[in-house]
Each structure stands twice: as structure tokens, then as C-alpha cells.
Structure 1
């Protein structure tokens, strides 16, 4: 029996519309990779491939472990994404209602994200989701980001779930699915509303590929 649902944010429950990758592009440019160069394109491609992972970790990999540049790029990313949020944020169609239905049936719902707590909280505020879920977590709250299982396992501990097999995980990236598998979740679902698609999901363990979190809610209701 599933008692906890862990959902990603951008691309899973929240509409992305390219804002995340655009913020990445601006951030690596500000850190010295000129737009239009092969280095800039490679960095953006890497960000796309590792979407869902901790942003500071991704920048660290892009800049070869140069922590000073990684921190500067991460700060630039947060500013660029915050600027995008000034126009508001939009939930993916049906996502908010799906979460409310899950909670009405007694399920606990945690949102997990690769964003820093500052960026995450700005997004939550823009959506008006302060009271929507039981818990929201960033890598800084749990230890390591995806593809490691730390955020999911932290949710299990904080929400006092008895067994990791009572967990369902859904996300739009391969890293989401790897994290769910490593956490021991019984349902690990890729959703086709964000960064990655069926070909990306095929490369990692998972139990389901669904059109959106709406179908996850329907699956859990059966």
C-alpha cells in the first residue's frame, strides 16, 4: 500500500516552458562561457542531460570542480530563474488537483527538487503552494541531490513512513527515476511533461511511464 508520494517540481508538477535551461544558459555565460561557443553549447547540453540533479553539483561538473566558478554560476542561475518567476509560475495542467486528491485519500505528498531552498521557496510562493503538500525538500535539506536517494529517504524519515516500499516516486528526468529506484520505492514513474522522454527513461530502471501526474493519481486511486 502506498502511503507517501514524492514528486519532482519543474517539469513534473510545475510548468517549465524552458525557463530552467534558459537560466542555466545565462548562468554559464556569466561565469565565462561565451554564448555561441562550443563550450557554452556543451555546458547547456550537459545541464539538459543532468536535469533534475542538484544545480550546484551540475555547475561543479561543468567547471571541472572549480568551486568558485560553480558557486558564482549557481548564484547567477538563481537570479535568472527568480527573474523568470516575476512573471509568475504555472502548475502543469491537473497537477495541483491531483495532489489535493492524493492528500484527501490520506496519502502524504512531498515535493523534491534540485533547486536551492531559496529558489524552491520562491517557486512555491509564486504558485501559492505553501500549504499544498506535507513537505518540500532540496538537496541542502537532505545531503545529496538526485540521482542519489537522500531526499526521498529524508521524506520517509520526516513523515514517519514505515517502509520504503510504501513510496511512489514520479519525475520527468532519468535522475528522478534513479533516485526512486535507489530509495526502494515500489512505484517509480517517469512523466512525459518535462525534460526527458521515453528514450531517456528506457536507460534507467522504472516501473511506469505516464503522460502526467494526473495519471499517477489515477493509478494510485485504483
Structure 2
């Protein structure tokens, strides 16, 4: 039995539609093609970690990360933030069946809160966390384990992790989750998600209930 579903946000429960790349270009307007490729390859990971990898200077990385978060928040405020079709109903149905739900993200806490407020999802999940709160971001298991501890679960085998990137998959596997599902509504391809070790690759989070019931 699954007692907890740990769900990624952008690309999994929230449509991205290129917002991450738009915010990245706003933060680093002179970014090289190689930098853009790195951002695409590290979708789902902590954004400050990505900027550290790119800029190799803590001050510059922090400045770029702040600019990124501000640009992304501006896009959210302008209405460029919509849920993956069916995501809210899936979450509501899971909770009605006694399954707890946690939201994780590679964004900062303020951005996560901005997205949840824009969607009217402030009270939709039982638990929310970010890399800064949990300790480390994906592909480390910290955010999944923070949800397990925060919600008082006793067994990681009662956890399902869902995300749209190989980093999400690795995070779930490293945490010991029973179900680690990749979804095709975000950055990852079927081959990439399967190659990372996903137990299931789904067209959308709408397919998650059937997996859990099975």
C-alpha cells in the first residue's frame, strides 16, 4: 500500500511551457549554447546548484539565482502558470483515499509558494519542501526523505515518487520508494526516464491512480 505520493511541480503537476528557460535567459542574457544545454540536462535539480556549476563563483551564482527566481516569479504573476490537466483531481482523490501528498521542487521556497498561491493550491498538499529546506536537491534523496520524516511514515516502501526528469527518478530510487514514476508532460523523454530506472513511465500524472491501484 502506498501511504505517501511525493510529487514534483514544474513539468509534473504544473505545466512548464518553457518558463524555466525564459527565466534562465533573463538571469543570464549572455548565456552560451553550452550553458543552455546544461540547464536542459539538469532540469529538476536545485537551481542554485545549476548556477554554481555554470559560473564557478558563489557571488555570481547567488546573483544569477536571485535574478532567475525574480524572473520566474514575474512570469507566474503574469499568468504563465497552469496545472497539468487532471493533476488537481488526482491529488484530491489520493488524499480522499488516505494517501498523503507532498510537493517538491528545484526552486526556492518563495517561488514554490508563489506557484502554489497562483494556482490556488496552498492547501492542496500535506507537505511541501525545497532543496534549501531538505538539505540537498535532486538527484539526492533528501526531499523525499524530508517528506517521509515530516509526515511520520515508518517505511519508505510506502512511498511513490513522481517526476518528469531523470533527476526525479534517481531521487526516488535513492530514497527507496516502491514506485518511482516518470511522466512525459515535462522535460524527460520516455527513453531518458526508463534509462534512469523508473519503475513506470506514464503519459501524465493522470495515469498514477491506476498504477497505485494495481
TM-score range, shorter chain: over 0.9
Q: Distance in 2 between matches of 1:203 and 1:49?
A: 14
Structure 1 position 201 matched with structure 2 position 189: no
Structure 2 counterpart of 1:125, from 117, 125, 135 = 117
1:7 Cα offset (Å): 0.3
Describe how 1:1-222 pairs up with structure 2 within 5 A: 1-29=1-29, 34=30, 40-64=32-56, 66-88=57-79, 89-222=81-214
**Which segments of structure 1 move beyond 6 Å, counting only runs of 4 or more?**
none
Aligned-residue offset at 1:218: 2.3
Q: How far did residue 105 of structure 1 move?
A: 0.4
C-alpha separation in 1, matches of 2:98 and 2:194: 32
Q: Distance in 1 between matches of 2:21 and 2:158?
A: 33
Q: In the aligned structure 1, how far is the partner of 2:96 from the partner of 2:210?
A: 13
TM-score, normalising length: structure 1: 0.94
- The answer to whether the Cα contact below 8 Å between 2:194 and 2:201 also exists between their aligned partners in 1 is no
- Unmatched runs of 5 consecutive residues or more in structure 1: none
**Which whole-Å CA distance do the structure 1 matches of 2:198 and 2:188 have between them?**
14
**What count of residue pairs does the alignment treat as equivalent?**
213
**Residue 221 of structure 1, CA deviation:** 3.1
Which stretch of the first structure deviates more once superposed, 193-202 or 49-58? Answer: 193-202
CA distance in 2, matches of 1:157, 1:82: 29
Q: Which runs of 5+ in 2 are unaligned?
A: none
Instruction: Output the aligned Cα RMSD.
Output: 1.0
Larger mean CA deviation between 18-27 and 156-165 belongs to: 18-27
- Quote the Cα distance in structure 2 between the aligned partners of 1:67 and 1:123: 26
